[in-house]
């Protein structure tokens, strides 16, 4: 059924392409904006590196000048929010993390994409929205309106060191967290040699909230928010189980783990001090070029007792509503080009991760990039779009989660009392900031795209 739909879609796209080949071309669409200079927000991550490298192609074809403004992830929301609050019109193409759409869409800082897709002069008939994974479109849909085109899209994966596993007597990676903790880790960890079975990036901030907390919430049946009852659910018995399990992993991990971020964990894995890490799919190019060589193994994240809910994260590009029409249209053309079907493969070849089914599921591409198959599988079957909730008050919400999450991991407070305090602080904050009225539930939007 699936492949049939795909075939029809492809055929339709081809047909449309043939039929309108003369009606729409990027250079024609961009003609009115020749000489316009737009600013695009980006991060210092592989996807943006290759995007920057390919940008001159767009500039050449359109005459639109593109300036990339690269920020550290931790500063991006701050810079963009200040830009909007002060109406300083610095940025045209806005980068939105999967947890920010409601922050940008609710105050109308960004435009719904229908604004552009309805304009035959701008909209590429080959845009083919259906080619994006539904979970990604749902994630950037607020009030049934799509605001962003996905770019730099991740799933959590299990990276493992094949020869370390083999030396400990394992032919393949663990498939459940239970197996990982009880069968694998005791054999893989030798603290006297400073070799560890697993390392979990747990640094304060979004890393703690997403990588170290949410990862152990969902697979045990926990969740952040109970939408129907309008309650915070982080201290449910399921959540307590998950976080208690996380505490059990600590004895197999390096000592300083609570302060380690992605870079340290990846570095330890690359230095063969750690046998397994759970990290974003975007890390593949980095790890494959490290000195691990053929020892690098990739699998989906392990399942929990209540099923597989792998880490879900990534970004999309949106168009600022504050800049003038010329800039808006030019920015849209750029975003449309960057996230197009045609660009997907060159981007992947250059180390990016994108959410285009046609490219991610292409066997010839998958053969070269072993991170794609488990990533696709995760997006299709084993994650949820509200893996982290989409709240307008999310920044502070996440900060509270990260605060108590780190305290629990440090052993400053027990699991149950810590989660109770987290729930209490979150509930109080949700109320004081009137956040319950400003929730987006992307899960509901899944119906639009399935």
Partner 1 sequence: MTDTAQDRAPPMAAAPPSWKEKLEPWFFILPSVVLLLAIGLYPVIYTFIASLQAWVMGMGPPSFSGLDNYIHAFGSSDFGHSVGRTLILILVTLPIELILGMMIALALDSTNFAILRRLLQICLVIPIAITPSVVGLLTQLMFNEQLGIINQLLHLVGIPAIDWLGRPTAAFITVMIVQIWEWTPFVALVLSAALSTVPKDIDEAAMLETERWWPRFRDVQLPFMWPGITAALVFQTAFTIKEFDMIYSIEKGGPGTSTETSVMQIERMAFRGFDVGLASAESILMLVLSIVLARIYIRVFYREMD
Partner 2 sequence: MADFRATLLRALQGIALVVVLVVILFPLYWMVAGSLKTEPDLFAIPPKWFFTPTIAAYVDAIENTDVLTNLLNSVIVTGSAVALGLIVGAPAAYGIARYRFRGRRDVWFWYVTNWMLVPVVVLIPFYLTASKLGLINNPIVLILVYQVFIVPLVVWLLVDQFSSVPVALEEAAQLDGLSRIQIFLRIALPLVKPGIAVSAILSGIFAWNDMLYAFILTPSPEARTAPTIVLSYLGGYVIPWPQVMAASTLVCAPVIIGGIIVHKYIARGLTMGAVK
Which of partner 1, partner 2, none lies near 433, with the C-beta cut-off 5 to 8 A by kind?
partner 1
Is residue 374 a contact partner of residue 298, using CB atoms and an 8 Å limit? Answer: yes
Q: How far is the CB of 39 from partner 2 (least distance, A)?
A: 7
Is residue 377 a contact partner of residue 398, using CB atoms and an 8 Å limit? Answer: no
Residue 90 or 183: the one with the smaller Cβ distance to partner 2 is: 90
Q: What angle, rounded to 10 degrees, do the helices at 415-432 and 394-410 form?
A: 170
Q: Report how far residue 98's alpha carbon sits from residue 119's, in angstroms, rounded to the nearest whole number.
A: 26
146 contacts: CB under 8 Å, gap ≥ 6: 112, 113, 114, 129, 137, 140
Residue 427 contacts partner 1 per CB under 8 A: no
Is residue 143 a contact partner of residue 270, using CB atoms and an 8 Å limit? Answer: no
Q: What is the dihedral of CA 257, 196, 198, 246, to 10 degrees?
A: -60
Residue 81 contacts partner 2 per CB under 8 A: no
User: Which listed residue (162, 223, 262, 303) binds partner 2 by CB under 8 A?
Assistant: 262
Residue 68 contacts partner 2 per CB under 8 A: yes
Q: How far is the CB of 68 from partner 2 (least distance, A)?
A: 7
450 contacts: CB under 8 Å, gap ≥ 6: 134
Residue 197 contacts partner 1 per CB under 8 A: no
Burial annotation 27-49 (CB, 10 A radius, 16+ → b, else e): eebbeebeebebbbbbbebbbbb
Which of partner 1, partner 2, none lies near 174, with the C-beta cut-off 5 to 8 A by kind?
none
Q: What is the dihedral of CA 333, 339, 343, 345, to 10 degrees?
A: 180
In the chain, what's the furthest Cα-to-Cα distance?
69
Segment near partner 1 (CB under 8 A), from 180-188, 331-339, 372-380, 408-416? 408-416
Which of partner 2, partner 1, none lies near 438, with the C-beta cut-off 5 to 8 A by kind?
partner 1
User: Which listed residue (7, 11, 85, 428) binds partner 2 by CB under 8 A?
Assistant: 85
Both tokens of 117, joined, read: 């897709």
9 contacts: CB under 8 Å, gap ≥ 6: 128, 130, 131
Residue 107 contacts partner 1 per CB under 8 A: yes
Q: How far is the CB of 363 from partner 1 (least distance, A)?
A: 39
Q: How far is the CB of 412 from partner 1 (least distance, A)?
A: 7
Residue 78 or 166: the one with the smaller Cβ distance to partner 2 is: 78
Residue 88 contacts partner 1 per CB under 8 A: no
Residue 131 or 260: the one with the smaller Cβ distance to partner 2 is: 260
Residue 348 or 422: the one with the smaller Cβ distance to partner 2 is: 348
Alpha-carbon torsion 87, 90, 92, 96, what sign? negative
Q: Which of the residues 371 through 400 are near partner 1 (CB under 8 A)?
A: 392-393, 395-396, 399
Residue 7 contacts partner 1 per CB under 8 A: no
220 contacts: CB under 8 Å, gap ≥ 6: 238, 239, 241, 242, 245, 304, 305, 306
Helices (H), 350-441: 357-360, 363-368, 372-381, 394-410, 415-432
Residue 161 or 336: the one with the smaller Cβ distance to partner 2 is: 161
Is residue 298 a contact partner of residue 284, using CB atoms and an 8 Å limit? Answer: yes
Burial annotation 64-89 (CB, 10 A radius, 16+ → b, else e): bebeeeebebeebbebbbebbeeeee
Residue 78 contacts partner 1 per CB under 8 A: yes
Q: Which of the residues 239 through 268 are near partner 1 (CB under 8 A)?
A: 254-260, 264, 267-268
Residue 143 or 259: the one with the smaller Cβ distance to partner 1 is: 259
User: Which listed residue (28, 57, 59, 74) binds partner 2 by CB under 8 A?
Assistant: 74
Which of partner 1, partner 2, none lies near 257, with the C-beta cut-off 5 to 8 A by kind?
partner 1
| Residue ranges in contact with partner 2 by CB under 8 A | 39, 43-46, 67-75, 78-79, 82, 85-88, 90, 262-263, 266-267, 271, 280, 282-283, 286, 291
Site of interaction with partner 1 (CB under 8 A) = 74, 78, 81, 84-85, 103, 106-107, 109, 194, 203-205, 254-260, 264, 267-268, 271, 273, 392-393, 395-396, 399, 403, 406-407, 409-410, 412, 433-434, 438
């Amino acid at each position: 059924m699936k492949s049939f739909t795909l075939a029809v879609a492809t055929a339709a796209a081809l047909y449309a392409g043939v039929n309108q080949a003369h009606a729409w071309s990027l250079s024609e669409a961009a003609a009115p904006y020749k000489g316009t200079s737009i600013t695009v927000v980006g991060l210092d991550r592989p996807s943006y590196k290759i995007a920057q490298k390919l940008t001159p192609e767009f500039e050449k074809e359109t005459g639109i000048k593109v300036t990339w403004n690269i920020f550290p992830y931790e500063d991006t929301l701050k810079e963009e929010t200040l830009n909007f609050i002060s109406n300083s019109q610095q940025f045209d193409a806005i980068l939105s993390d999967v947890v920010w759409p409601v922050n940008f869409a609710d105050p109308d800082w960004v435009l719904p994409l229908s604004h552009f897709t309805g304009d035959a002069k701008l909209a590429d008939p080959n845009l083919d929205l259906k080619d994006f994974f539904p979970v990604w479109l749902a994630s950037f849909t607020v009030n049934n309106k799509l605001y962003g085109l996905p770019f730099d899209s991740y799933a959590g994966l299990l990276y493992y060191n094949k020869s370390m596993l083999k030396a400990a007597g394992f032919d393949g990676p663990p498939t459940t967290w239970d197996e990982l903790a009880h069968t694998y880790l005791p054999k893989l960890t030798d603290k006297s040699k400073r070799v560890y079975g697993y390392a979990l990036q747990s640094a304060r901030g979004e890393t703690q909230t997403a990588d170290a907390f949410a990862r152990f919430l969902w697979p045990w049946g926990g969740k952040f928010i109970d939408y129907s009852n309008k309650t915070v659910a982080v201290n449910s018995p399921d959540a307590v189980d998950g976080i208690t399990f996380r505490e059990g992993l600590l004895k197999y991990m390096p000592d300083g783990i609570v302060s380690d971020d992605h870079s340290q964990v990846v570095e330890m894995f690359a230095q063969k001090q750690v046998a397994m890490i759970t990290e974003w799919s975007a890390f593949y190019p980095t790890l494959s070029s490290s000195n691990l060589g053929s020892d690098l193994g990739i699998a989906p994240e392990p399942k929990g007792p209540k099923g597989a809910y792998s880490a879900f994260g990534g970004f999309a590009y949106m168009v600022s509503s504050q800049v003038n029409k010329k800039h808006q249209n030019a920015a849209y053309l750029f975003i449309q080009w960057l996230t197009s079907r045609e660009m997907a493969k060159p981007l992947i070849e250059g180390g990016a991760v994108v959410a285009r089914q046609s490219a991610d599921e292409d066997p010839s591409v998958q053969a070269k990039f072993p991170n794609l198959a488990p990533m696709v599988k995760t997006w299709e079957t084993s994650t949820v779009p509200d893996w982290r909730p989409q709240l307008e008050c999310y920044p502070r919400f996440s900060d509270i989660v990260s605060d108590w999450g780190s305290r629990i991991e440090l052993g400053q407070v027990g699991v149950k009392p810590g989660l109770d305090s987290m729930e209490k602080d979150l509930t109080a904050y949700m109320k004081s900031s009137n956040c319950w009225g400003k929730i987006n539930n992307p899960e509901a939007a899944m119906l639009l795209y399935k």
